[in-house]
Chains A and B, each alone.
Chain A
Amino acid sequence: MGLADIVIKLVLIVIIFLISLVIAMYSTYAERKIAAFFQDRIGPNRAGPWGILQPLADGGKMFLKEEIIPTNASPFLFIAGPSLAILTACIGSAVIPWGQTVTMGGHTFDLQVTDINVGILYIFGVVSLGVYGVMIGGWASNNKYSLLGAIRAASQNISYEISMGLSIIALLMVTGTLSLKEIAAMQHGWHWNVLYQPVGFILFIVCAFAETNRTPFDLPECETELVGGYHTEYSSMKLGFYLFAEYINMFISSAVMATLYWGGYNYPGMDWVLAHTGPTIGPLIGTAVLFAKIFLFIFFFMWVRWTIPRFRYDQLMDLGWKVLIPLAIANIIVTGLWITFF
């Protein structure tokens, strides 16, 4: 690996990081606009034309607010909580293939930071670490509501990780590889995995809602019961980090879903487009298609949030343990039979 490769990787990492942050920022704006649309309101419209500068104003406000650390809180862990939340949200993007190999000025490079051969398991590991940010922050606040929020987050994440893992197993039986790059390349054209694993995809998206703490599974921050949930005691940018981490998680899980099930950067007729646009522009069109899919998923996350009310806690556990896990196991068996006999 030469110096040029390292520089290219560094540039790619910085670009992906910036894109994640910008998308997370504008997701907050999109969420408020979409909520306004669903509720027949106007939404933010003061900062800039159509309120387009609202996220910047919100960010500036977050930085300028007074920072409060409760007297009996554990100061180190109180700061470590939101930091961990945003760290685990950001590192998931490292294994996602953002596009095909691009040739630019005689150089070829992959639009993927690293292709480890256990890519899916890495994502899964990062997802399972995500709960520590919430748990540590909730416990360190020394507040009963925060603690209850943290405990809900932990049990919810563990429960839904099981069915998420089982739905991934069925997908792996179809693809036969753990590397995200190979999985993406395998879905060339229209051979998207969702056509072979529709039930697996539905299981995965339900679990993704639970793992990112989005409505209808946002019990850890259920304000009707728990004031503000795990971030009751947080203020200023530390609160901002928690909220930001949620939007980055949403972006990353949309990217993972698009890559695993909806063909990633592949689209019907891509060979024709590649042949006519050359090796520089062609793969970048694929990347644009991937981002279009990601935005559709982000919209879907928001659509569900403003449509479906929050579950009760026992309903959440019932759904996770009594519906999703048996369904996921049945999906594995059916997939196995299908592979054996066809």
Chain B
Amino acid sequence: MSTFYFIAFLSIFFSILVITAKSPVHSILYLILTFFTFTIHYILMNAQFLAVVNFIVYMGAILVLFLYTLMLINLNKESEPRKSNLVKIAGFIGGACFLITIVAALKAFTVSQPVVLNNPNLGLVKNLGKILFNEFLLPFEVSSVLLLSAMVGAVLLATKDPKTA
């Protein structure tokens, strides 16, 4: 349990650094560390497959692309848009309202019974695969079609328009 609290502390600590870091590249690096703590959380929950996939897909691919983009667009202090005080005040009020809503919602909740899994080894690759392809086959396939359509859409957007080219 103490491991959990330590890792949870690190997660929150790095997420705060993500939004307070001055340089966008530093923020992405903190985001990578945040995702790394998520990987540890998954391992603590015995969800090894999810942990490794989070490691490969989020840390190894998506955040590399984030970093790639940020390195290319070169955000300098000079080119950063200045925000007026009005926007800052509006942001503060909006954020505070959101915080109050969340706190109220959490208070209204009664503590639910913890869900006990029938099979504590659900997160292992074999069990996860069997469940995904037996019980949840339809949602699994539908979501894969959704991802495919997003990919086709991106390719379509990126191709040159034959009229203008």
Contact = CB atoms under 8 A, between A and B. Distances in A.
Given A121-B52, A121-B53, A136-B29, A151 B68 contact: yes
Contacts of B49: 118, 121
A289 interface: no
Most buried by B among A116, A125, A136, A158: A125
B56 interface: yes
A148 to B, nearest CB: 10
Interface string A130-151: 0110011001000000010011
30 contacts: A77-B29, A116-B48, A117-B125, A118-B49, A118-B52, A121-B49, A121-B56, A122-B52, A124-B56, A125-B52, A125-B56, A128-B55, A128-B56, A128-B60, A129-B55, A131-B60, A131-B64, A132-B64, A132-B67, A135-B67, A135-B68, A139-B67, A150-B71, A154-B64, A154-B65, A154-B67, A157-B64, A158-B65, A161-B61, A178-B125
Given A116-B48, A124-B56, A125-B52, A158 B67 contact: no
A125 B36 CA distance: 12
B72 A151 contact: yes
Given A118-B48, A150-B71, A125 B64 contact: no
A136 B53 CA distance: 23
B163 to A, nearest CB: 25
A45 interface: no
A155 interface: yes
Interface in B43-70: 48-49, 52-53, 55-56, 59-61, 64-65, 67-68
Contacts of A124: 56, 60
Interface residues on A, range: 20 to 34
A157 B64 CA distance: 9
Nearest to A135: B67
Interface in A86-116: 116
Nearest to A124: B56
A290 B94 CA distance: 62
Given A132-B32, A139-B25, A151 B52 contact: no
A80 to B, nearest CB: 9
A124 B67 CA distance: 20
Interface residues of B, number: 20
B124 interface: yes
Contact of A161 (B60, B68, B124): B60
B64 A158 contact: yes
Contacts of B72: 151
A154 B68 contact: yes
B48 A117 contact: yes
A128 B35 CA distance: 14
A147 B49 CA distance: 34
A239 to B, nearest CB: 21
A138 B102 CA distance: 42
Given A118-B48, A150-B71, A154-B68, A129 B59 contact: yes
Contacts of A154: 64-65, 67-68
B71 A158 contact: no
A294 to B, nearest CB: 25
A41 to B, nearest CB: 39
A296 B125 CA distance: 33
B158 to A, nearest CB: 12
B129 to A, nearest CB: 10
A139 B70 CA distance: 10
B64 A135 contact: yes
A128 B59 contact: yes
A132 B55 CA distance: 13
A77 B71 CA distance: 14
Contacts of B67: 132, 135, 139, 154
Nearest to A120: B52
